[in-house]
Every structure is written in structure tokens, then in C-alpha cells.
């Protein structure tokens, strides 16, 4: 009987044998030899290492063409099995037996890591690349100062200033201008700031709240993250092993505050960038309002990190709202159900925030809670279905290993995978879905049966992972109204088309957020906002629009996404900014 160790050693041997051929093919510089490493339907994805962009090449002709156009400048060499990543292993992906592993290498700009997935069923009888993701991980001159390479920290006889004196002075920016200003000190801004600081970039983070983490503290009282800590860990500073799987919002908020201190990030809290102007010399003027007055900064790079994928509330005003005598608030202003005890509350919307708020209101003694549904919503159970998307993230796997696997998913395979996953989750959740439909709540997993997570990637909303609210809808504890049933909003509540009146004390508009392009517009005006264009959602190349990459406006970058995406893509955004500061980032992608 073959043991696990024997299987592991055989996988390493097979991968090393394949690598010998890969070294010869890449060293030759011959595009045909490089293309022959791939299956006929193979994919080569590149994050900066060859193209300085996020690119996907499908099929041998496209792969050979891309290699021919980039290899001379990239100068790939030193292919080795990665010593820092998981060892090569046999696995089954999308119903296919594969051999997968990680490679380290050098390119002209620095050092990179690749994730390689080899098909073992190629007609040639030889392993062929099904998917390969090449990434740039370090720039020359900016090694990762972690572990054995960490700073020494000795300062005996260094002068009258100690570490704290220097930190306080550095944070004030009295004697210099920052190289990068990050607008927003949430998880995205902090993680990017930490990456840039490790690359020697002088960064200032401007956060309008009084404390780092307040963007989580000020959210509704009962909020808990819907995916587990293994998915949401931050770079350089993993969560304690004693922490719960699902993080309460305040626990995360405190951690972000501690993260900013531990990573020595320069954050101005209680400060707000009120306006910005672009100059012909390629710099920005930013006006920052603080409690002690205004400060005008002149910087080459600005990063907007003002929301996961959007930062400006979409405050839709229902017809008749001016006549309504009750209280109206956007979901971003909602704090706690205990503030609405005994009230009749209507929540307009059926996305994640709407569900969480409705449940919080019910559990804290609201007299009645009604959700108004405008569009069908994808709903799945938290367990087992909601956790399936992130199932690869476990406490015993390095999140960086998994990040590379997740990133190495070309759009056609991503779409097919989510269609398969949606079929599976709909079968597992058939009673949940039937119960919701029976209660008058419309569900939907379209437009192409890819389900909730593709809705997130495409538009940032339109779904709910059931943390209990769906059960309350099914048993009638929370009522559902379809928007088509409502005639208008009157002084005392909602007038329905059947003539009846649903009396309302408080109306919560869980109507989502505008595209982050509107945040650009508020700070920099119409011309720059239109030049940048929409943010988030796939572009024609199935890359996130204007996210984590050079935008059409030089010197303006966007940092967004959930905790997992912030950890993954902050590396590549930081590398691009550092490269641009050093004058080595091409104005256009190389392919």
C-alpha cells in the first residue's frame, strides 16, 4: 500500500522531472518551446512579472505570442521549486487529476513566484500546463525585511531620541511631504500602507474617523463577519489562534487599530481630504482638514481606499418621503436595534446589510419589521454553502499559498466553477429557497446561474449568506413586501396599491452604495472622474475595472475589496506604486 509520504515524494519527483523540461524551454527563449509546455487549451496568467499588468492568455497561439513579446525584457531565469510555499502535490481540480506546485524565479524587475497546475491526462502522455500564474513578488533593492531578515532594532548610543520620539516625529510630517497619501484607513488602506512601508515608501494614511477601526465599530451592533478568520488574516500579523472562527466587528476594529500601531503606519485620524487638484508636473495638491486646522500636501501619488468596492451611500429617495413624518436613515447610519424598541420599521432592500439590520431589529424588540424587495436576491445558507467559496482557506494552510491558487482562475473556469457550485448549493438549500419563495421572497442566481459570489465580483451586492434572517422571514417573524405592491410613502407610512396603509415609524434605506467613481468625483471633479471611469466589476478582459492597477489618471490608484482581496492585491498595487516612484513602471502594459 502506498503511504501518504510516498505519494508526496512521487509528486515532487514528477514535478521536478517536468521542471527540467520547463527550464530548457524558457532558457531557449523560443516561443514555440514555451508554448509546447502548455495543453492546447491551457492558460497563462501574469500579474506584473512579464506584462506589468493583470493579463490572461488562452491557448497556445496567444501564449506563444505573449512570451515572444515579453521574454526579452522580462529575462526569466533561476526557475526552482519554491522553498517557502507548499510542496508539489497531486490534486483533483474541477474534476481533473492534476499535479500542482509553486516556483520561484528571477525576472529583470526582481523576484517572482508562479503557481503551476499540470494536467496529467494530456493526449501527449506528458504533463502539460493547464493553468500557470506568474507573479512579481519583490522589486530589486526592496527585499522583504521579515523573519531572519528583520531589522535589528539596536539603538544604544543612537542619540537623544528613542524609538517613540522618532515615531511621533515621523507621523507628523512637519519636515517633509509624503510620497503617497492613502485616503481611508480601513483594512484596505492599512494593508496597502504596510506593504508600501516595507518597500521604503513614505506613506501617510488619512482617516476621517476618530480612531482606526471606527469604520467597523460604527456599523450595526450585531455585525459579525460571514467568512472565517483563515480567509481574513492580514499580512505580517496573523490573528491569534485562540480567536473565534467568525469575527465580531468590534474585535476586528480593535485588531485594525493594533495593526496600525504594530506596523508603524503613519495615520492621521480625525482628518479628512476635502479636495484635490492635479498639476501639470504630475503631482497632486490635497487639502486635509484636521482638528487643529488645514494642511495642504503636495504628493505624486494618491490612493483612494474609501470602501470595499464603493464608499458613497446610494440614498434613494422614495416617492412621498418629504411627507413622511417618521425617521429616515441610510443603512450606513444605522447603529443598533436597541434604538428602535417598540417601533414599526421598514427596511428597503434585501442585500446583506438589509438582512442583518432586519434581524437585529427583530431580535432587539422592534414592534414589527418589514423588508421591501425591489429585485430578486441570491440567498444561500452560511453552513454548508456559504463557506464553500472559501473552503480552501484553513488554519493549516498558508493563506499566501491559497491566494495564489485563487488568483490563478481564468474567467471561463471561474464561471464554470461557480455554475457547478451554484447547482450544488441550490440542491443543498432547496428547502431554504422553497421556504423563502413561499413567504413571498424572490430568489435568483442569474444572469448565468453563477450564484452569489459572481454577483459580488460583478456588482458588489445582490446576495445574502443566511445568518438567521431567512429563517425569520420563512416563519413570518419578518414580513416581506414587494416594491411593486407599494403605491407611495405617506405621512404615516406606506400606502399599498390595494388601498391599505402599513404604518411606519422608521424607514431604513438599505439601498447600497454608488460606484466608487463617485468618490473620485467628489474629491477631484467631473473631468478626472470621467477619465477614470467605473470602478469594480469585470472589464472586457475580465479584470476588475480600475482596481489595484494604474488607472487612466496617472498618479491615482484605487484600493478596495474584502479582507482576502486586500491581502492578495495589496502586494501588486504596492509594487506598481514603488516601481512608478523609481521610474520603471511602463506607461502601458507590455502586451
Q: What cell numbers appear for 149 in the block?
A: 531578515
Same domain, 389 and 486: yes
Same domain, 338 and 485: yes
Residue 151 lies in a domain: no
Same domain, 391 and 531: no
Residue 152 lies in a domain: no
Last residue of a domain, one of 139, 154, 181: 139
pLDDT for 155: 66
pLDDT for 5: 81
pLDDT digits (tens, 9 = 90+) for 33-89: 999 999 999 999 999 999 999 999 999 999 999 999 999 999 999 999 999 999 999
Rounded Cα distance between 216 and 224, Å, is: 10
Same domain, 483 and 573: no
Of 223, 497, 519, 493, nearest to 348 by C-alpha is: 493
Question: Beta partners for 107?
Answer: 110
CATH code of the domain containing 112: 3.10.450.50
- 143 Cα distance to chain centroid: 25
Q: How many domains does the chain have?
A: 3
Residue 258 lies in a domain: yes
Same domain, 97 and 235: no
Same domain, 430 and 537: no
Same domain, 183 and 128: no
Question: Beta partners for 115?
Answer: 102, 133
Give the angle 251-256-262 at the CA atoms, nearest 5°. 120
pLDDT for 310: 62
Contacts of 92 (CB under 8 A, 6+ apart): 98
Same domain, 9 and 130: yes
**DSSP-derived pairing of the beta strands 203-207 and 267-269:** parallel
The DSSP symbol for 179 reads S
Same domain, 524 and 434: no
Rounded Cα distance between 107 and 579, Å, is: 14
Bond into 5 cis (ω within 30)? no
Contacts of 450 (CB under 8 A, 6+ apart): 415, 418, 419, 422
Q: What cell numbers appear for 47 in the block?
A: 500579474
Last residue of a domain, one of 450, 474, 509: 509
pLDDT digits (tens, 9 = 90+) for 209-220: 999 999 999 888
Residue 154 lies in a domain: no
510, 328 contact by CB (below 8 A): no
- 352: Cα within 13 Å, side-chain hemisphere: 21
Helix locations, 136-239, DSSP H: 163-172, 187-198, 214-217, 229-232
Enclosing domain of residue 52: 4-139
Residue 337 lies in a domain: yes
Per-10-residue mean pLDDT for the chain, 591 residues long?
79 93 94 97 98 97 97 95 95 88 98 97 92 98 83 71 92 96 98 98 98 93 88 96 95 98 98 96 97 96 84 82 94 92 97 94 97 96 90 93 96 94 96 98 93 91 94 98 95 96 96 90 95 94 94 97 96 98 88 77
Same domain, 82 and 197: no
Of 67, 73, 304, nearest to 183 by C-alpha is: 304
Same domain, 343 and 473: yes
Same domain, 524 and 503: no
**DSSP-derived pairing of the beta strands 203-207 and 479-482:** unpaired
Sign, CA torsion 267/273/277/278: positive
Rounded Cα distance between 417 and 94, Å, is: 7
- Length of the chain measured in residues: 591
Strands (E), 467-536: 479-482, 486-489, 493-496, 501-503, 506-509
Rounded Cα distance between 119 and 116, Å, is: 10
Residue 81 lies in a domain: yes
Rounded Cα distance between 313 and 23, Å, is: 52
Sign, CA torsion 540/461/482/330: negative
Rounded Cα distance between 465 and 228, Å, is: 13
Sign, CA torsion 177/178/181/185: negative
Last residue of a domain, one of 479, 509, 539: 509
Residue with cell string 460604527: 218
Nearest 10 degrees: Cα torsion 182, 184, 185, 191: -50
pLDDT for 156: 62
CATH code of the domain containing 304: 3.50.50.60
pLDDT digits (tens, 9 = 90+) for 533-575: 999 999 999 999 999 999 999 999 999 999 999 999 999 999 9
Nearest 10 degrees: Cα torsion 451, 454, 460, 464: 20
Rounded Cα distance between 491 and 500, Å, is: 14
Residue 433 lies in a domain: yes
Rounded Cα distance between 5 and 2, Å, is: 8
Residue 525 lies in a domain: yes
Amino acid at each position: 500500500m502506498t503511504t501518504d509520504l510516498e505519494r508526496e515524494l512521487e509528486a515532487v519527483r514528477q514535478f521536478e522531472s517536468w521542471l527540467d523540461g520547463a527550464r530548457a524551454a524558457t532558457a531557449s527563449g523560443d516561443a514555440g518551446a514555451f508554448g509546447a509546455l502548455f495543453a492546447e487549451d491551457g492558460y497563462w496568467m501574469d500579474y506584473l512579472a512579464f506584462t506589468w499588468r493583470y493579463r490572461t492568455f488562452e491557448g497556445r497561439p496567444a501564449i506563444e505570442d505573449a512570451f515572444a513579446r515579453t521574454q526579452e525584457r522580462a529575462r526569466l531565469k533561476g526557475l526552482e521549486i519554491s522553498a517557502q510555499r507548499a510542496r508539489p502535490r497531486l490534486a483533483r481540480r474541477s474534476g481533473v487529476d492534476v499535479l500542482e506546485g509553486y516556483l520561484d524565479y528571477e525576472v529583470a524587475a526582481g523576484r517572482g513566484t508562479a503557481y503551476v497546475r499540470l494536467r496529467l491526462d494530456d493526449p501527449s502522455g506528458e504533463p502539460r500546463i493547464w493553468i500557470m500564474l506568474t507573479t512579481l513578488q519583490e522589486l530589486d533593492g526592496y527585499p522583504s525585511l521579515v523573519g531572519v531578515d528583520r531589522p535589528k532594532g539596536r539603538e544604544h548610543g543612537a542619540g537623544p531620541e528613542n524609538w517613540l520620539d522618532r515615531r511621533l516625529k515621523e507621523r507628523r510630517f512637519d519636515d517633509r511631504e509624503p510620497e503617497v497619501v492613502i485616503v481611508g484607513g480601513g483594512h484596505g488602506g492599512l494593508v496597502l500602507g504596510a506593504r508600501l512601508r516595507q518597500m521604503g515608501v513614505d506613506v501617510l494614511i488619512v482617516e476621517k474617523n476618530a480612531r482606526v477601526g471606527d469604520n467597523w465599530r460604527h456599523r450595526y451592533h450585531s455585525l459579525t463577519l460571514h467568512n472565517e478568520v483563515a480567509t481574513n488574516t492580514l499580512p505580517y500579523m496573523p490573528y491569534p489562534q485562540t480567536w473565534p472562527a467568525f469575527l465580531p466587528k468590534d474585535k476586528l476594529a480593535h485588531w485594525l487599530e493594533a495593526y496600525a500601531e504594530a506596523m508603524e503606519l503613519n495615520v492621521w485620524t480625525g482628518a479628512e481630504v476635502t479636495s484635490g487638484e492635479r498639476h501639470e508636473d504630475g503631482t497632486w495638491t490635497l487639502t486635509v482638514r484636521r482638528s487643529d486646522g488645514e494642511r495642504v500636501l503636495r504628493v505624486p501619488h494618491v490612493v483612494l481606499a474609501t470602501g470595499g468596492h464603493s464608499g458613497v451611500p446610494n440614498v434613494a429617495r422614495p416617492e412621498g418621503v418629504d411627507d413622511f413624518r417618521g425617521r429616515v436613515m441610510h443603512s450606513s447610519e444605522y447603529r443598533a436595534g436597541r434604538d428602535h424598541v417598540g417601533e414599526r420599521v421598514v427596511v428597503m432592500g434585501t442585500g446583506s446589510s438589509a438582512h442583518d439590520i432586519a434581524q437585529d431589529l427583530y431580535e432587539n424588540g422592534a414592534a414589527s419589521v418589514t423588508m421591501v424587495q425591489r429585485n430578486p436576491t441570491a440567498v444561500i445558507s452560511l453552513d454548508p454553502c456559504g463557506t464553500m467559496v472559501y473552503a480552501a482557506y484553513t488554519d493549516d494552510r498558508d493563506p499566501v499559498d491559497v491566494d495564489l491558487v485563487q488568483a490563478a482562475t481564468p474567467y471561463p473556469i471561474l464561471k464554470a466553477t461557480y455554475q457547478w457550485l451554484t447547482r450544488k448549493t441550490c440542491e443543498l438549500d432547496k428547502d431554504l429557497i422553497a421556504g423563502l419563495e413561499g413567504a413571498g421572497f424572490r430568489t435568483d442566481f442569474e444572469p448565468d446561474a453563477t450564484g452569489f459570489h459572481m454577483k459580488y465580483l460583478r456588482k458588489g451586492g445582490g446576495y445574502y449568506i443566511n445568518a438567521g434572517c431567512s429563517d425569520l422571514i420563512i416563519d413570518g417573524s419578518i414580513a416581506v413586501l414587494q416594491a411593486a405592491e407599494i403605491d407611495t410613502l405617506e405621512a404615516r407610512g406606506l400606502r399599498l396599491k390595494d388601498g391599505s396603509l402599513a404604518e411606519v415609524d422608521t424607514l431604513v434605506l438599505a439601498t447600497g452604495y454608488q460606484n466608487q467613481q463617485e468618490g473620485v468625483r467628489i474629491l477631484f471633479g467631473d473631468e478626472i472622474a470621467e477619465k477614470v471611469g467605473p470602478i469594480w466589476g469585470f472589464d472586457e478582459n475580465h479584470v476588475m475595472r480600475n482596481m489595484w492597477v494604474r488607472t487612466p489618471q496617472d498618479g491615482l490608484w484605487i484600493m478596495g475589496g474584502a479582507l482576502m482581496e486586500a491581502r492578495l492585491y495589496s502586494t501588486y498595487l504596492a509594487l506598481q506604486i514603488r516601481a512608478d516612484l523609481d521610474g520603471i513602471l511602463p506607461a502601458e502594459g507590455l502586451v
